[in-house]
């Protein structure tokens, strides 16, 4: 793809991903991607990992300040994996647009919450284990 892959985080809503090369489900199967996709981060979508608007009914809240990229350029394909009953694993050269990057370790990969329960949104803090989050 010609454009750099970018993740934008919507207040109280999904992750908007542009120009992604590869998206995998919890079983490692490749999923169809378009130029722009919306990935669920509230944990209630009936179409995981994609957003279906359930965050509105669920009352999902998450207020973030958009920002410039907080992730240094990395080598490799831009890949997001929906780990089985867990977070999104983000690998490769993907720009994360968020002002507060305190959840980033600088490592590749890094992990974004998709269960809706993390206290460190948009980053995963392991809360999915405690709430029994599943892909279904």
| Helix, strand, coil shares, percent, the chain, to 5 | 5, 25, 65
- What's the pLDDT tens digit per position in 73-114? 567 789 999 999 999 999 988 888 877 666 566 667 899 999
9, with CB counted inside 10 A (0-12, 13-18, 19+), is buried
Question: Per the structure block, which two tokens stand in for 28?
Answer: 């490692």
**31-64 pLDDT per residue, tens:** 999 999 999 999 999 999 999 999 999 999 887 6
Structure confidence at residue 1 as a pLDDT band (50, 70, 90)? very low
- What is the pTM (predicted TM-score) of this model? 0.88
For the chain, what is the domain count?
Answer: 1
Domain hosting 114: range is: 1-136
CATH number of the domain at 16, please. 3.40.5.90
């Amino acid at each position: 793809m010609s454009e750099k892959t970018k993740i934008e985080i919507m207040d109280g809503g999904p992750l908007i991903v542009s120009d992604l090369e590869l998206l995998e489900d919890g079983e490692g199967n490749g999923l169809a991607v378009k130029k722009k996709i919306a990935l669920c981060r509230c944990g209630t979508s009936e179409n995981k990992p994609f957003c279906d608007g359930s965050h509105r009914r669920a009352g999902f809240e998450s207020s973030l300040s958009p920002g410039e990229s907080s992730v240094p350029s990395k080598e490799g394909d831009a890949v997001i994996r929906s780990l089985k009953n867990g977070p999104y694993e983000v690998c490769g050269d993907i720009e994360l647009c968020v002002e507060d990057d305190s959840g980033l370790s600088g490592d590749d990969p890094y992990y974004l919450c998709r269960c809706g329960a993390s206290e460190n949104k948009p980053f995963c803090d392991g809360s999915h284990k405690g709430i029994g989050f599943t892909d279904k």
